[in-house]
């Protein structure tokens, strides 16, 4: 039983997105698809220990789940278009009840990969972003309602209601289960990329709570990024997004010490960095840039690659980073990008020069509620031995920070400013 459960868990983790996407296409219902898939996995745990694990367990689960959908429609005793669709599927694909013997040849049937349709449905612009994230993690990610609720620090009942409402909206608004038309594709793809990156960012620096990093969310976002690259392989921004996440995630083990305290980039033990991920991310960046259609994710990934390839803090090419942020600012102007460029200028051309750019940015008040603006400013003031001003800036950053690990780090910096 343990082997069967291990295999079933692996199939769920690796193939549930593909399976449920196919089931949603056939049934037109998220709920029916989820129920059929759950029933199929339950059947596997009953039949595999007794009859042996099939050579292609994912195909077995898919076939059984398809059969359960057909049985559900038959039980309704109505001849609808939905039933016609499912009956057609039953005629064109070999299905078996769980108790039947299923041979390797019979299970080699190919099922359409509908994940591309599903991810565009989950990230449709008519759905708010919180719901997009939850639905993407629930369907393509295969996370349970409880896991998603824990990840985003909301009550499980609240998250469950959110999922019910978004499924209802998809049904009532007739949101199509389809890949957008060519003229809409790029804009809609940006929405998908943004949802995946939002999931990663919540894992990389948790908004609230006692942990700085949520490795499970980082890993899930990277997995979704790989799926997106597989489904739309020639889109350079998909590659840029994947590379960016890999390169950032490569530093995960070094971002906190054994006590859970935050460690800034220049003080990290680089032997703890995942150099295999850094190499993969850097290669993907190069692959993306060769397509010659540069976008924001590619440029941010290029910045991360410069950091990742520096064996020591002194090896960091801050001039190259400042130049990359300059290109990014021209391509996608915004105060946060300008702030990042100012920090790179400070590290390459002098703290005073960088601080003057930051202060100029601050005059617009656009970043007044952004804690990293005040934290960056405080750090430069500290390096310039302007302790009183640094204290004020650190305190403002502390007021705006909601993550406990980051709060503790800022308090430590404040204490160092006033240490004898």
The residue-averaged pLDDT of 148-154 equals: 76
Question: Is 109 exposed, middle or buried (CB count within 10 Å of its CB: 0-12, 13-18, 19+)?
Answer: middle
Angle at 200 between CA 197 and CA 204, to 5 degrees: 135
pLDDT at position 28, please?
A: 84
Residues in the chain, overall count? 420
How many angstroms separate the CA atoms of 243 and 249, rounded? 10
How many angstroms separate the CA atoms of 59 and 94, rounded? 11
pLDDT at position 2, please?
A: 57
How many angstroms separate the CA atoms of 258 and 240, rounded? 32
**Residues 54 and 107 sit within 8 Å (Cβ to Cβ):** yes
334-392 residue pLDDT tens: 999 999 999 999 999 999 999 999 999 999 998 999 999 999 999 999 999 999 999 99
The residue-averaged pLDDT of 113-130 equals: 86
pLDDT at position 177, please?
A: 86
pLDDT at position 209, please?
A: 66
How many angstroms separate the CA atoms of 341 and 70, rounded? 57
Partners of 262 in beta bridges: 256
Where are the domains positioned within the chain? 2-113
Rounded to the nearest 10°, the torsion over CA 25, 30, 35, 40 is: 30
63-115 residue pLDDT tens: 999 888 888 777 765 555 555 555 545 444 443 444 444 333 333 333 346 88
The residue-averaged pLDDT of 111-136 equals: 83
pLDDT at position 83, please?
A: 57
For the ranges 162-166, 202-206, 301-305, the lowest mean pLDDT is seen at 202-206
Token code pair at residue 55:
């050579």
256-280 residue pLDDT tens: 999 989 999 999 999 999 999 999 9
Provide the whole-model pTM. 0.78
23-73 residue pLDDT tens: 998 888 898 999 999 999 999 999 899 888 888 898 999 999 988 888 877
Neighbours of 388 (CB within 10 A): 9
Segments in 173-291 forming alpha helices (H): 182-204, 215-231, 236-249, 275-289
**Residues 30 and 114 sit within 8 Å (Cβ to Cβ):** no
Query: Crossing angle of helices 129-139/115-122, nearest 10°?
Result: 150
Query: Crossing angle of helices 296-308/318-331, nearest 10°?
Result: 170
How many angstroms separate the CA atoms of 409 and 403, rounded? 10
Partners of 403 in beta bridges: 209
How many angstroms separate the CA atoms of 246 and 235, rounded? 17
277-294 residue pLDDT tens: 999 999 999 999 999 999
């Amino acid at each position: 039983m343990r082997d069967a459960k291990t295999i079933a868990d692996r199939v769920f983790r690796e193939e549930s997105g593909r399976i449920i996407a196919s089931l949603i296409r056939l049934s037109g219902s998220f709920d029916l698809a989820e129920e059929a898939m759950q029933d199929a996995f339950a059947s596997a745990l009953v039949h595999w220990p007794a009859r042996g694990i099939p050579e292609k367990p994912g195909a077995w689960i898919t076939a059984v789940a398809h059969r359960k959908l057909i049985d559900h429609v038959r039980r309704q005793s109505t001849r609808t278009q939905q039933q016609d669709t499912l009956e057609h599927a039953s005629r064109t694909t070999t299905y078996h009840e769980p108790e039947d013997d299923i041979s390797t040849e019979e299970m080699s049937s190919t099922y359409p990969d509908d994940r591309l349709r599903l991810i565009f449905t989950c990230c449709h612009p008519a759905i708010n972003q919180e719901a997009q994230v939850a639905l993407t993690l629930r369907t393509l990610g295969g996370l349970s309602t409880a896991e998603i609720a824990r990840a985003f620090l909301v009550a499980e009942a609240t998250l469950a209601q959110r999922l019910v409402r978004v499924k209802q909206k998809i049904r009532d608004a007739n949101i199509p289960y389809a890949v957008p038309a060519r003229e809409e594709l790029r804009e809609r793809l940006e929405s998908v990329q943004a949802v995946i990156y939002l999931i990663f960012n919540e894992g990389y620096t948790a908004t609230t709570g006692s942990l700085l990093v949520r490795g499970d969310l980082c890993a899930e976002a990277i997995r979704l990024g790989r799926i997106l690259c597989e489904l739309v392989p020639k889109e350079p921004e998909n590659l840029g997004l994947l590379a960016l996440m890999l390169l950032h995630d490569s530093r995960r083990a070094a971002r906190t010490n054994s006590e859970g305290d935050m460690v800034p980039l220049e003080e990290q033990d680089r032997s703890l960095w995942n150099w295999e991920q850094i190499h993969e991310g850097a290669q993907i960046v190069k692959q993306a840039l060769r397509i010659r259609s540069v976008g924001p994710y590619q440029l941010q990934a290029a910045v991360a690659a410069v950091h990742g390839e520096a064996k020591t803090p002194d090896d960091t090419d801050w001039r190259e980073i400042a130049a990359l942020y300059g290109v990014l600012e021209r391509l996608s102007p915004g105060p946060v990008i300008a702030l990042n460029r100012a920090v790179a200028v400070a590290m390459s051309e002098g703290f005073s020069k960088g601080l003057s750019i930051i202060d100029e940015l601050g005059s617009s008040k656009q970043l007044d509620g952004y804690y990293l603006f005040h934290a960056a400013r405080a750090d430069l003031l500290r390096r310039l031995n302007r302790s009183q001003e640094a204290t004020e800036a650190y305190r403002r950053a502390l007021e705006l920070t909601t993550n406990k690990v980051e709060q503790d780090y800022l308090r430590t910096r404040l204490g160092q400013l006033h240490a004898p």
